[in-house]
Structure 1
Amino acid sequence: MTVHALVSLLPDPDGLLARCRALALLDVILDTYAPTHSFVSDWREGVGLAFMDNGSGDQYAVVIDPAGVFLYGFDHESDATPWREWPRAHWPGLLDGLPPSLAHHPAAPEFQFDGFFDATVCVWREKDAEAWRCGQVKFDDESDGSDGLFGLLTAGSTDAYVSFAD
């Protein structure tokens, strides 16, 4: 799966928010000290943040902003990693079309690594939009890591979480 499939599998913003909160709650119950999923309801004034860090270099964040939702992921083993070349560069088209209302989120210090926005996947949905959007990225046989990063979030099932927790 790449970002092109991910945009069709994500629930609406309210459903995504509910899943993010549920994953964070379940994770803190299972592991109080090092949960994989976290949620901060007031990360910035009026802005929530869901975060996943698997402890192996892969992570994602979901920013719930009054202007919409910005979601990004980083899979360190993905073909789309910015580390595939020096100087680092995003996969072509990754942020193309990101609306101005959400365009400031990639610059957040929490999403920077050594002054660079490390991302292999980006998705967004403005407040009144009817669908998720992504940049004009193209893949042949390459992977952006969407399947490994967002499989649990898109599955949204008890069985998927039980399998993850096991």
Structure 2
Amino acid sequence: MTAYDVARRLPAIPELRTLCRALAALDIVLNPDSNDRHHDYDTSWAPGEELASMWDGSGNEYSVVFTAAGAYVRGFDHESPMSPYATDDDQPWPGVLDTVPDVFRECVEEPAFSDDGTPSVTVCLWREHNDTAWRHGDIAFPDGDEDGADWLFALLTDPTPEAFQDWAEDYCEMPVDLDAVRHVYAGKPLTAAVVTALNPATTLAAVAARVAATGYPIS
């Protein structure tokens, strides 16, 4: 699966924003003592912009910037042959960023998504509010179609509670209550009972401020 496949499977902008907030809220509850959680959501990333992000601690990441124009998605698989650091010219793979519209050019040039001025990107998608589908560049992929999109965006292209449960039990090495995950995926306000079901070692009071900062509702 490449960026082309992700474009067909990614939820529309409102649903994607809701999903990203749910992932961030769940990560806070499951890992309340960590400052380096896998998923995050920043409601005050920039004036008029919000940022959903994933970072796996091994150099792989994605960013979803929600702007007044729509949404910009960027992913980086540091082991991909499409990485700028694996090419002869140390530049993004041809086609990945070439046709990003002007309304998202600031996202392309964002220093936080670059390394010494070179965009850290192997996958890029965008969608304006009046678009009917996610868009991407015209890309000639290397053998194997290895842009990292298949696994980087796995929880966004399979937006089911069951997919998150499978991922979280492996990542957190602990049982994860499926009904509690369903509650959060549905966008229902976080309650003390749901927090306890997800992680008996913490409380709603302990995580409420951080969850609220993601924009996720609190009971």
Q: Normalising by structure 1, report the TM-score.
A: 0.96
- SS of the equivalent of 1:62 reads strand
1:106-158 deviation per Cα after TM superposition (whole angstroms, max 9, x unaligned) = 21121111221110000000121111100111224231000110011111111
Q: Answer whether contact 1:71 1:124 (CA < 8 A) is retained.
A: yes
1:17-46 deviation per Cα after TM superposition (whole angstroms, max 9, x unaligned) = 011000000001111213100000121111
Partner of 1:13: 13
Q: CA deviation at 1:80?
A: 1.0
What are structure 1's unaligned runs of at least 5 residues?
none
Matches within 5 A, 1:39-118: 39-118=41-120
- SS of the equivalent of 1:61 reads strand
Partner of 1:159: 162
The amino acid across from 1:156 in the alignment is: P
Instruction: Tell me, yes or no, if structure 1 residue 147 matches structure 2 residue 150.
Output: yes
For 1:96 and 1:119, the matched residues in 2 are separated by: 12
Q: Answer whether contact 1:80 1:142 (CA < 8 A) is retained.
A: no
For 2:148 and 2:102, the matched residues in 1 are separated by: 25
Q: Normalising by structure 2, report the TM-score.
A: 0.73
Q: CA deviation at 1:86?
A: 4.3
1:67-94 deviation per Cα after TM superposition (whole angstroms, max 9, x unaligned) = 1100000001112111113441111111
Count of residues in correspondence between the two structures: 166
For 2:157 and 2:18, the matched residues in 1 are separated by: 12
Q: Answer whether contact 2:11 2:156 (CA < 8 A) is retained.
A: no
Moved over 3 A (4+): none
For 2:107 and 2:118, the matched residues in 1 are separated by: 12
Higher helix share: 2
For 2:124 and 2:97, the matched residues in 1 are separated by: 7
What are structure 2's unaligned runs of at least 5 residues?
170-219
Instruction: Name which one, 1 or 2, has greater alpha-carbon Rg.
Output: 2
Partner of 1:23: 23
